[in-house]
Structure 1
Amino acid sequence: MVRFKAWVIEKGEAGQTLSFTDFDAADLMDGDVTVRVTHSGLNYKDGLAMTGRSPVVRRFPMIPGIDFSGVVETSDHPDYTPGDAVVLTGWGVGETHLGAYAERARVNGDWLVPLPNGLSPAQAMAVGTAGYTAMLCLMAIEAHGLTPADGPALVTGASGGVGSVAVALLARAGWHVIASTGRMEEADYLRGLGASEIIDREDLAKPGKPLGKERWAAAIDAVGSTTLANVLAQTKSDGAVAACGLAQGMDLPTSVAPFILRGVSLLGINSVTTPRPKRRAAWARLAKELDLAALAAMTNRVGLAEVGRLGEDILSGKVRGRTVVEIG
């Protein structure tokens, strides 16, 4: 019998519980690759899962953790052999499939990508789901035809995981970056990542007009709800907003005005089931284009035994940048 340490979410008559315990490898779910997990990350969705604040988890028991890096232990998949370094984000891991806050994971090999050249396993999880999502947003904006010459780019939730990487990526690509944050005390941190302007999130969080003054050509929004509505209302003609989050809410109280009067485009970003070619392209660009010094500046580290206490912190906005969970 092989047992290993894991965080496990159970649900009973009294509600959901989270415990750090020994888990039997025989209870891992089906998959053709078993990975010795070395690192994971802390994401907003992980906070929702661990606290039960939203029905993210759809089977019990569940090991939370939606992303990981690690080393292949056994494989029946043609693309991977024991010893290969791999990365996983998305595909329902930590939601419907046992996740990453554990010393072992068994998954479908099609969900994996090789660890990109130029990134260590720890750096890959400093990027994690958040940074990978930020790159998908940048790729969508570029595919829309927008460039830094078209005007500034806004990032909402800029002090968080997606936002921090988005600021760094946009700045490295030559954009004038406007960072929106609810923590103005983080202004120096955001300027260090490349932001040129800092605005208070309250400027965007309250109901506004269907159309406002044109302020940015592109935006990456991780907040949703009224904030996203105001971002759209202040986007320049023929600009685009990449939407990837719902920290403020899932609703979108907007009108058709930005779309039919200014030709603004709303670009939805799905980072969970991205096709493998696009997924690999995003990781290759992250390894090449993300400033590793900026990545280090936005990253904190915790041990596996500590991550269970951080669910409420990330939901309440107390976690800055990225948190790497050191497992192996």
Structure 2
Amino acid sequence: ALSARQAMALGTAGYTAMLCVRALIREGVTPKSGPIVVTGASGGVGSVALMLLSKLGYEVTAVTGHPEEEPVLRKLGASDILPRQTLLRMTRPLEKAQWAGAVDVAGGAVLAAICASMKYQGVVTACGLAAGMDFPATVAPFILRGVTLVGIDSVYCPKEERLAAWQQLAELIDPEKLNGILTEITLPDVKQAAADLLDGKIRGRILVRLAAPENAG
């Protein structure tokens, strides 16, 4: 049900976001369980996760280091916006229990703060390391609140799960919202786009349109 353009617009990021959402559902997190927090909300995984979770009826808190993105994030489905620095100030072994589920692309201190802020039997899906590979946390959330940390791997994921994820993406994605976070560039623009990505300037999804060969018939 997806066009080639839509599939490429979603890409690995959208597919990974769907794997995270499926894991939350598999672990028993429902809209009635409580709010979900999504880190890196203006990035590829985060923006698609916002769309998917809101479509499924979840209340979603979007974490971002770019407050100017709030209007876009709310349009994608965020019901609340949390500045990244607020999250990074959470350094206690256990923080106020706020969320029933999480989609984390950051790792590092961000993931540690998320785990410390989960509700009893909350579920955290971890799929990235944008904030670092280390995990400066304690066992407190896991042994005192029964928090579950689920690792999400999109590379070696079995084919059956891949097909199921893409099928669900086709059913849930709003084409208009997807188009709203999509920027098209051409192949010569890739070098600058890569530099912007490393500098944290990229929002949503970038689609590279390949020019046809000059002598194509």
2:154 to 271, 276, 279: 271
Q: Shift of the alpha carbon at 1:248?
A: 0.6
For 1:308 and 1:315, how far apart are their aligned partners in 2?
A: 11
Give unmatched runs, 5+ long, in structure 2. Answer: 213-217
Task: Give the AA of the match of 1:130.
Answer: A
Matched residue type, 2:133: M
| 1:140 aligned to which of 17, 23, 46 | 23
Matched position secondary structure for 1:242: strand
Residue 124 in structure 1 maps to residue 7 in structure 2: yes
Cα distance in structure 1, aligned partners of 2:96 and 2:162? 36
Aligned residues: 211
Query: Equivalences for 1:1-328 in 2 at 5 Å?
Result: 118-206=1-89, 208-327=91-210
* Counterparts of 1:308 and 1:285, CA distance in 2: 33
Answer yes or no: is the 8 Å Cα contact 1:127–1:322 preserved in 2: yes
Q: Say which SS state the counterpart of residue 2 (structure 2) adopts.
A: coil
- Shift in Å at residue 206 of structure 1? 3.9
Q: Per-residue deviation at 1:207? A: 5.6
How far apart are 1:312 and its partner, in Å?
A: 2.1
Alpha-carbon distance in structure 2 between the residues aligned to 1:223 and 1:312: 19
**TM-score, L = length of structure 2:** 0.95
Runs of 4+, deviation exceeding 2 Å? none
Conserved? CA contact 1:160–1:317, under 8 Å:
no
Which structure has more RCO (C-alpha within 8 Å, separation ≥ 6)?
2
Contact residue 181 and residue 201 of structure 1 kept, 8 A: yes
Confirm or deny: 8 A CA contact 1:237 1:263 kept in the other structure. yes
Alignment partners' CA distance in 2, 1:317 and 1:169: 23
Q: Percent identity?
A: 51
Deviation at 1:296, TM superposition (A): 0.7
- Secondary structure of the residue aligned to 2:153 is coil
CA deviation profile, 1:216-259 (whole Å, cap 9, x unmatched): 10000001100000000000000100000101100000000000
Contact kept, 8 Å, 1:205 with 1:227, in 2: the verdict is: yes
Q: What amino acid maps onto 2:103 in structure 1?
A: I
Task: Specify which structure has the higher proportion of strand.
Answer: 1
Structure 1 residue matching 2:150: 3-state secondary structure? strand
Bigger Cα Rg: 1
- Give the C-alpha shift of residue 292 in structure 1: 1.2
CA RMSD of aligned residues (A): 0.9
Kept after mapping to 2: 8 A contact 1:182/1:200: yes
Helix, strand or coil at the partner of 2:101: strand
Alpha-carbon shift at residue 291 of structure 1 (Å): 1.2
- Which has a greater percent of helix? 2
Contact 1:219–1:231 (CA<8 Å) still a contact in 2?
yes
Alpha-carbon distance in structure 1 between the residues aligned to 2:197 and 2:123: 28
Give the match's secondary structure for 2:131.
coil
The one-character-per-residue Cα deviations of 1:296-318 (angstroms, maximum 9, x if unpaired) are: 11111111221122112112210
Give the distance between the partners of 1:133 and 1:292, measured in 2 at CA.
Answer: 18
- In the alignment, the residues of structure 2 paired with residue 168 and residue 321 of structure 1 have an alpha-carbon distance, to the nearest angstrom, of 12
How far does residue 273 in structure 1 lie from its aligned partner after superposition? 1.1
Paired residue type of 1:227: V
**Range moving further from structure 2, 288-297 or 229-238:** 288-297
Provide the secondary structure at the position in 1 that maps to 2:164. helix
